[in-house]
A and B are shown apart, each in its own frame.
Chain A
Amino acid sequence: MAEIKLAESKVQELKEVCKKFNYDKSELINVLHAAQGIFGYLPAEVQEVVAEQLNVNIAHVYGVVTFYSFFTMTPKGEHPISICMGTACYVRGAEKVLDEFKRLLDVKVGETTPDGKFSVSSLRCVGACGLAPVVTVGEKVYGRVAPEDVKDILAEYK
Chain B
Amino acid sequence: MTKYNSHILVCGGTGCRASQGEEIVENLKQAVVDNSLENEIQVVRTGCFGFCEKGPIVKMIPDNTFYVQVKPEDAGEIISEHIVKGRKVERLLYTDPEKNEHITDSKHMGFYKKQIRIALRNCGFINPENVDEYVAREGYAALGKVLTEMTPEEAIKIIKDSGLRGRGGGGFPTGLKWEITHNVEGKEKYVVCNADEGDPGAFMDRSILEGDPHSVLEAMAICGYCIGGNHGLIYIRAEYPLAIERLKIAIDQARELGVLGKDIFGTGFDFDVELRYGAGAFVCGEETSLIHSMEGLRGEPTVKPPFPSVSGYKGKPTNVNNVETLANIPVIINNGAEWFSAIGTEKSKGTKVFALAGKINNVGLIEVPMGITLREVIFDIGGGIKDGKKFKAVQTGGPSGGCLTEKHLDIPIDYDNLLACGSMMGSGGMIVMDEDDCMVSVAKFYLDFTVEESCGKCAPCRIGNKRLYEMLDKITKGNATEEDLGILRNLGNVIKDTSLCGLGQTSPNPVLSTMDNFPEEYLAHVKEGKCPAGQCKDLMEYVINPDTCVGCTLCSRVCPVDAISGDKKQPHVIDTAVCIKCGACMEKCKFNAISIQ
Contact = CB atoms under 8 A, between A and B. Distances in A.
Q: Do chains A and B make direct contact within the complex (CB under 8 angstroms)? A: yes
Interface of A: 24-30, 32-33, 56, 63-64, 67-71, 85-92, 96, 99-100, 103, 123-132, 134, 141, 143, 146-148, 150-151
Interface in B551-594: 558, 560-561, 580, 582-584, 587
Contacts of A28: 296-297
A96 B582 contact: yes
Contact of A99 (B364, B395, B582, B587): B582
A129 B296 contact: no
Contact of B296 (A25, A86, A128, A141): A25
Nearest to B431: A87
B52 interface: yes
B445 interface: yes
A128 B52 contact: yes
A129 B299 contact: no
Contact of B582 (A33, A100, A124): A100
Given A86-B201, A87-B357, A125-B200, A70 B238 contact: yes
Contact of B18 (A68, A125, A141): A141
B24 interface: no
6 contacts: A26-B296, A64-B298, A87-B199, A87-B398, A88-B358, A148-B584
Given A87-B200, A96-B583, A124-B198, A68 B15 contact: no
B19 A143 contact: yes
Given A30-B276, A67-B299, A87-B431, A129 B55 contact: no
Nearest to A66: B298
Contact of B363 (A26, A30, A68, A130): A130
A126 B357 CA distance: 13
A146 B201 contact: no
Given A130-B52, A132-B357, A64 B363 contact: no
A64 to B, nearest CB: 6
A70 B278 CA distance: 9
Interface stretch (B202-210, B326-334, B512-520): B202-210
A146 B588 CA distance: 11
A34 to B, nearest CB: 10
Nearest to A69: B280
Contacts of B206: 127
Interface string B374-417: 00000000000000000000010010000000000000000000
Contacts of B449: 124
Contact of B199 (A67, A125, A132): A125
A47 B285 CA distance: 26
A1 B201 CA distance: 38
B200 A33 contact: no
- Number of contact residues on B: which range applies? 35 or more
B19 A63 contact: no
Interface string B292-318: 011111110000000000000010000
Contacts of B488: none
A26 B235 CA distance: 13
A100 B359 contact: no
B15 A129 contact: yes
B437 A143 contact: no
Contact of B364 (A30, A96, A130): A130
Given A30-B276, A70-B239, A146-B584, A125 B363 contact: no
Contact of A125 (B55, B203, B364): B203
Interface in B356-374: 357-359, 363-364
Per DSSP, chain A at the interface is helix
Given A88-B357, A127-B203, A148-B584, A68 B299 contact: yes
B276 A129 contact: no
Contact of A129 (B201, B278, B446): B201
Given A33-B279, A96-B582, A64 B297 contact: yes
Nearest to B456: A67
A71 B279 contact: yes
B281 A68 contact: yes
B201 A125 contact: yes
B583 A69 contact: no
B531 interface: no
Nearest to B210: A127
Contacts of B14: 126-128
Given A26-B314, A90-B445, A127 B15 contact: yes
B124 interface: no
B324 interface: no
A147 B442 CA distance: 20
B455 interface: yes
Nearest to A21: B296
A85 B449 CA distance: 9
B431 A99 contact: no
B53 interface: yes
Given A67-B281, A147-B582, A148-B560, 10 more contacts: A29-B296, A70-B279, A85-B200, A87-B431, A88-B201, A92-B358, A127-B203, A131-B18, A146-B587, A148-B558
A24 B582 CA distance: 51
Contacts of A85: 200
Given A70-B239, A86-B200, A129 B52 contact: yes
